[in-house]
Structure 1
Amino acid sequence: MIAVVRLILLVLFFIGSTIAGILVCLVRPFHRNNVALFSHWYGRVSWILGISVEIRHDAAIAANTPYVFIANHQNNLDLFVMSGSVLPGTVTMGKKSLKYIPFFGQLYWLSGNIMIDRNNKNKALNTMLAAAERITHKNLSVWMFPEGTRSYGRGLLPFKMGAFHIALEANVAMVPVCMSTTHQQVKLNRWNNGKVIIQMMAPITLSPADNLRQFAEKTRQHMAAQIQLLDTELGNDYTASKTPLKE
């Protein structure tokens, strides 16, 4: 019964938030704070799912400073749990196919997010260069999932290089964002689904002298260790992050 009520509330939220969001975008299309505004709407849905969310910010993260945020991407719950941590002046980078999802896709585009064609390397490269230019000239931050796909309990997957190229091209620091494990931790028919912690870590910088792949792997290991610490703190029974991944 609880699951049915939650699904009804989620459907009503989707309809209401999409209509409201499109109306906002008609007034201020592609506004720098659209994504943060709508993300916080989605982040508040966590209570419907019976999830308590704690967001921790490292003191070194400066306000009104552009960054490339890199976060772990677990499953579809990310939309309702992690969204509340998106800071003003941040846009996300998503696959171009999202644009064709009725209503939500149009909202995603009008919000000012960056659409990337993963099937065309040349277009993808141009999109990343354009993202770096937006960071530099519009003082925007970009939020990315460097794994490139949802992990679904497989631990933190190997990182793709796009986010690191953008940070290097724009000459901005990167902020790792680690969310405790939600895989198999949330059940729609359970009233209380516990707590999730989102840790926004200290900014890290890279230079042209760095080996990007080594830097990316070191960052991934650092994030995997932080996620494991969060899981230990919460008492999550989860061991996939300890399983070695094949590169």
Structure 2
Amino acid sequence: MDNSGSGSFMRNRRLESFLNTSSSPTYREKPKVSVKEEAAQKPKADVYQDDDDDDGWVLALISCIRIVTCFLTMMVTTFIWALIMLVLLPWPYERIRQGNIYGHVTGRLLMWILGNPRKIEGSEFSNKRAIYICNHASPLDIFLIMWLTPTGTVGIAKKEIMWYPLFGQLYILANHLRIDRSNPTAAIQSLKEAADAVVRNNLSLIIFPEGTRSRNGRLLPFKKGFVHLALQSGLPIVPMVFTGTHLAWRKGSSHVRPAPLTVRYLDPIITDDWTADKIDEYVKMVHNLYVKHLPESQRPPES
């Protein structure tokens, strides 16, 4: 009797164990993970890649105030220096110098208003007489260029810039250079005249080799103009690599974010021995140099 009851009890336990095993998967309890360790295991997402609508109304309002303050500041400084340059009309080189001083003052003020953390590397190359080039993905690039290029530097832009209200007129008063991009022949002739002016007046030059702003921060193909200028002027090329500006203020966006910015001056590229039959090689070489020094998120998709 006892043996029968004991055997029945054991059979029921085995059947219960079998049913439990078949109906639900076994698992082992995972060790507890701290909040910090869990955050570290998750892939890091760039908080500045979010859409403008995700910023929240407080950040959007702060951004709007900063942009309006920048605009008003630029209007005031532009008006003041326009008056100064009108007085200096008979002295073209002094107008160039005043244009650079305007850029140093205005660019620094605008960057201070926006408040982005900034890091500058290789500044020992920032005062050479040279052709300065930089990648272009944000309005902030203009502010940085205005602030950081040395006195005695002229910009080069399309001739239509003269129609930009107030800023375009100041650009012309500052004796900066314009090129006609209506056709290749006119563009090459404009570049030759620009190079002659740079050599004749012992100036430096700043140019964006991409020719336009990148929409997503990724490096675009380079135009050949900066190589033509180097060939005709004999000046070295100083690459300036901008990172983070496209995250701080994207093209077409009305929001400025507090993303950190880095400006890195690379070693000057000597162009004394460059020849006209290798223009494409020089363009590719300098472009590859940028690809090497840009973060993955700013490299061309195929890189």
- Counterpart of 2:197, as a letter, is R
When residues 11 and 186 of structure 1 are mapped into structure 2, their CA distance, relative to the original with a 3 A threshold, is closer
Aligned partners of 1:35, 1:122: CA distance in 2, in Å? 29
1:32 is displaced (CA, Å) by: 3.1
How many residues of Structure 1 are paired with residues of Structure 2 in the alignment? 233
Match of 1:49 in 2: 114
Q: Matches of residues 111-190 of structure 1 in structure 2 within 5 Å?
A: 111-186=174-249
1:20 aligns with 2:20: no
Report the secondary structure of 1:211's partner residue: helix
Match of 2:160 in 1: 97
Contact 2:126-2:150 within 8 A present in 1 as well: no
Which has the larger helix fraction?
2
RCO higher in structure (CA 8 A, sep ≥6) = 1
- Counterpart of 1:223, as a letter, is Y
1:219 aligns with 2:281: no
Q: TM-score, normalised by structure 2?
A: 0.70
Contact 1:74-1:152 within 8 A present in 2 as well: yes
- Counterpart of 1:178, as a letter, is V
Report the secondary structure of 2:64's partner residue: helix
101-110 or 122-131, larger mean C-alpha shift = 122-131
1:46 is displaced (CA, Å) by: 1.2
Aligned partners of 1:138, 1:84: CA distance in 2, in Å? 21
Aligned partners of 2:169, 2:276: CA distance in 1, in Å? 40
Report the secondary structure of 1:156's partner residue: coil
Contact 1:43-1:83 within 8 A present in 2 as well: yes
1:58 is displaced (CA, Å) by: 5.1
Contact 2:247-2:259 within 8 A present in 1 as well: no
Contact 1:99-1:108 within 8 A present in 2 as well: yes
Report the secondary structure of 1:48's partner residue: helix
Match of 2:44 in 1: none
Structure 2: give runs of 5+ residues left out of the alignment. Answer: 1-60
- Counterpart of 2:258, as a letter, is N
Aligned partners of 1:100, 1:180: CA distance in 2, in Å? 30
Match of 1:234 in 2: none
1:243 aligns with 2:301: yes
Contact 2:96-2:176 within 8 A present in 1 as well: no
78-87 or 104-113, larger mean C-alpha shift = 78-87
When residues 133 and 82 of structure 1 are mapped into structure 2, their CA distance, relative to the original with a 3 A threshold, is closer
1:142 is displaced (CA, Å) by: 0.9
Structure 1: give runs of 5+ residues left out of the alignment. Answer: 229-237
- Counterpart of 1:112, as a letter, is N
Report the secondary structure of 1:119's partner residue: coil
Contact 2:119-2:262 within 8 A present in 1 as well: yes
Contact 2:244-2:260 within 8 A present in 1 as well: no
1:154 is displaced (CA, Å) by: 4.7
1:71 aligns with 2:134: yes
Aligned partners of 1:20, 1:78: CA distance in 2, in Å? 23
When residues 210 and 28 of structure 1 are mapped into structure 2, their CA distance, relative to the original with a 3 A threshold, is same
Aligned partners of 2:192, 2:75: CA distance in 1, in Å? 34
1:62 is displaced (CA, Å) by: 7.8
1:75 is displaced (CA, Å) by: 2.0
Aligned partners of 1:104, 1:87: CA distance in 2, in Å? 20
